[in-house]
C-alpha cells in the first residue's frame, strides 16, 4: 500500500541505511540479482553475508536465509503490488501481477519468471484498469481490486476476458481481497482504506474509531445464466481501540477455523494481524506485534491434510523482506525466513499445487515494487525444520 500519509509511516532512517549498505556492497563486486532467469543457490550463499550486514538493525535478526528460485525482470515503471498464480490445463503456470502505475496486469511464467505478456490499459471499461491493487485467483477466475475505479473486476483465464465488474456503489478505496468458494459460487472479502480527507499539508486523515465500521466489505458472486451476479452482503469493522482496523490492505481467511487475518498497516499504532471471524466479529486477539519490525504486507495460508498448517505474512523492510510463519491452529510463531535479494514486499501468493519446478508448491513474493521472486516451499520447510505437510 502506498497511499498512507507521512504521519502514518515509521521513520525510514534505519531502513535507508541498510539499503545503502547493501548498495555499497553490491558496488564492491557482489553479483546482481537475476532477472528473468533462475537465481542459483551458489549466488544465494555468496550474498548471504552481505544481506546480513546490510540488514543489521532492520528486521528479524534470526531469520533463516533461503535461496530464491528465480526473479522476474525488474520493471520499476510498473509499481508491482500483488501477485497470484493459475495453472492451465496443459500444466503451464501463469503468475499474474498488478501494476499500479501502468494500470495493467503483468503476466510471467510461474516456473521460470520469464515475462509472458501485458493485459489491459488505463480506463474504466472492460479489460481496463485504474490503479489495480489486490488480486486473487480461484478456479479459472482472476479477481482484481481497482483502487481508483472503486471496483472489483473479474477476468476468465487464460483469455483474460472480463466476465463481471462490481462494487463501485459500495467501495471507496479498495485494496486487498480474499475469495473462497461457497456452494455453487464464491464469497469475497474486500478491504477498504477510506480516509476522512486531508489536512492542510495534504496528509491523509484517519477516520475516528466510530467511523471504521466499513473497513471490510463482503460480496456474494454466483453464476447466473451465462454470466455472474454480484451481491453486496454488508461491511464490518470493530470500533474498539484493540480491534479497530485503522489502515487496511492484506486479508486472508481460514473457513475451517472460522478465521480472518487482517493486517494492521498503521505503523504508528502497531505492526500486527487482527484476528476476526468470517462474520466480521473481532476475536479479541492479535498476532505478530512481538515479531514484526516493519509493516505487515501480504497474508497466505499453507494447508495440511490433517488440519494443521501455517499462516505466512511479510515484514516489509525496505532493505529486506522477512517472511513470518505462525501455526495455523495455535497462532504461535513458527519461525521466519528471508531471501538473499527480496526486499520491500507488498503482496505474496502461495501456490500449493505440485509442479515440475516446485513439487511441494511455491511462494511468490513481490520484490521492491518492480517484479517478483519465487521460493521453493521445500527450501522454506527445510530451513525451519517444519513437520511434513501432506496436501
Q: For residues 227 and 24, what is the distance between their CA atoms, to the nearest angstrom?
A: 55
Cα 345 from chain centroid?
A: 8
pLDDT of residue 42: 38
One of 3.30.590.20, 2.120.10.30, 3.40.630.30, 2.60.40.10 is the CATH number of 6-384, namely: 2.120.10.30
C-alpha cell at 7: 504521519
pLDDT of residue 275: 98
On whether the CB atoms of residues 71 and 113 are closer than 8 A, the answer is yes
pLDDT of residue 279: 98
**Per-residue pLDDT reduced to its tens digit, 118-166:** 999 999 999 999 999 999 999 999 999 999 999 999 999 999 999 999 9
Domain residues of the chain, as ranges? Answer: 6-384
Q: For residues 344 and 368, what is the distance between their CA atoms, to the nearest angstrom?
A: 5
On whether the CB atoms of residues 356 and 112 are closer than 8 A, the answer is no
pLDDT of residue 59: 56
- CA-based nearest residue to 257, from 213, 296, 309: 309
Write out the chain's pLDDT in tens, 391 residues: 644 443 343 333 333 333 433 433 343 333 333 444 443 333 444 444 443 344 434 556 689 999 999 999 999 999 999 999 999 999 999 999 999 999 999 999 999 999 999 999 999 999 999 999 999 999 999 999 999 999 999 999 999 999 999 999 999 999 999 999 999 899 999 999 999 999 999 899 999 999 999 999 999 999 999 999 999 999 999 999 999 999 999 999 999 999 999 999 998 999 999 999 999 999 999 999 999 999 999 999 999 999 999 999 999 999 999 999 999 999 999 999 999 999 999 999 999 999 999 999 999 999 999 999 999 999 999 999 999 998 8
pLDDT of residue 71: 98
**Per-residue pLDDT reduced to its tens digit, 62-79:** 899 999 999 999 999 999
pLDDT of residue 24: 36
Q: For residues 266 and 44, what is the distance between their CA atoms, to the nearest angstrom?
A: 33
pLDDT of residue 391: 83
On whether the CB atoms of residues 346 and 283 are closer than 8 A, the answer is no
On whether the CB atoms of residues 230 and 166 are closer than 8 A, the answer is yes
pLDDT of residue 369: 97
pLDDT of residue 319: 94
Look up the pTM and report it.
0.86
On whether the CB atoms of residues 293 and 269 are closer than 8 A, the answer is no
Amino acid at each position: 500500500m502506498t497511499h498512507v500519509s507521512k504521519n502514518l509511516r515509521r521513520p525510514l532512517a534505519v531502513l535507508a541505511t541498510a539499503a545503502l549498505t547493501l548498495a555499497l556492497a553490491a558496488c564492491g563486486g557482489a553479483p546482481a540479482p537475476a532477472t528473468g532467469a533462475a537465481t542459483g543457490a551458489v549466488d544465494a550463499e555468496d550474498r548471504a553475508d552481505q544481506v546480513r550486514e546490510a540488514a543489521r538493525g532492520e528486521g528479524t535478526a534470526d531469520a533463516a536465509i533461503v535461496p530464491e528460485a528465480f526473479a522476474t525482470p525488474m520493471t520499476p515503471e510498473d509499481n508491482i503490488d500483488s501477485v497470484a498464480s493459475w495453472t492451465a490445463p496443459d500444466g503451464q503456470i501463469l503468475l499474474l501481477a498488478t501494476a499500479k502505475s501502468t494500470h495493467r496486469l503483468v503476466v510471467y511464467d510461474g516456473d521460470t519468471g520469464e515475462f509472458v505478456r501485458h493485459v489491459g490499459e488505463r480506463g474504466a471499461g472492460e479489460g481496463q484498469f485504474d490503479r489495480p491493487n489486490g488480486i486473487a485467483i480461484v478456479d479459472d477466475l482472476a479477481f482484481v481490486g481497482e483502487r481508483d475505479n472503486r471496483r472489483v473486476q473479474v477476468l476468465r483465464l487464460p483469455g483474460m476476458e472480463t466476465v463481471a465488474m462490481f462494487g463501485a456503489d459500495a467501495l471507496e478505496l479498495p485494496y486487498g481481497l480474499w475469495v473462497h468458494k461457497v456452494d455453487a459460487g464464491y464469497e469475497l472479502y474486500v478491504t477498504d482504506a477510506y480516509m476522512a480527507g486531508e489536512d492542510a499539508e495534504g496528509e491523509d486523515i484517519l477516520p475516528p474509531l466510530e467511523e471504521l465500521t466499513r473497513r471490510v466489505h463482503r460480496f456474494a458472486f454466483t453464476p447466473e445464466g451465462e454470466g455472474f451476479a454480484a451481491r453486496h452482503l454488508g461491511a464490518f469493522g470493530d470500533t474498539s481501540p484493540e480491534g479497530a482496523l485503522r489502515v487496511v490492505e492484506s486479508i486472508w481467511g481460514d473457513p475451517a477455523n472460522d478465521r480472518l487475518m487482517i493486517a494492521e498497516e498503521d505503523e504508528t499504532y502497531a505492526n500486527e494481524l487482527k484476528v476476526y471471524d468470517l462474520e466480521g466479529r473481532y476475536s479479541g486477539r492479535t498476532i505478530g506485534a512481538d515479531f514484526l519490525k516493519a509493516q505487515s504486507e501480504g497474508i497466505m495460508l499453507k494447508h495440511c491434510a490433517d488440519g494443521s498448517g501455517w499462516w505466512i505474512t511479510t515484514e516489509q523492510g525496505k532493505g529486506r523482506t522477512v517472511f513470518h510463519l505462525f501455526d495455523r491452529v495455535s497462532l504461535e510463531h513458527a519461525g521466519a525466513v528471508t531471501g538473499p535479494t527480496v526486499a520491500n514486499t507488498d503482496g505474496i501468493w502461495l501456490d500449493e499445487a505440485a509442479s515440475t519446478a516446485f513439487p511441494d508448491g511455491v511462494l511468490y513474493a513481490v520484490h521492491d515494487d518492480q517484479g517478483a521472486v519465487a521460493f521453493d516451499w521445500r527450501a522454506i520447510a527445510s530451513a525451519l525444520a517444519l513437520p511434513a505437510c501432506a496436501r
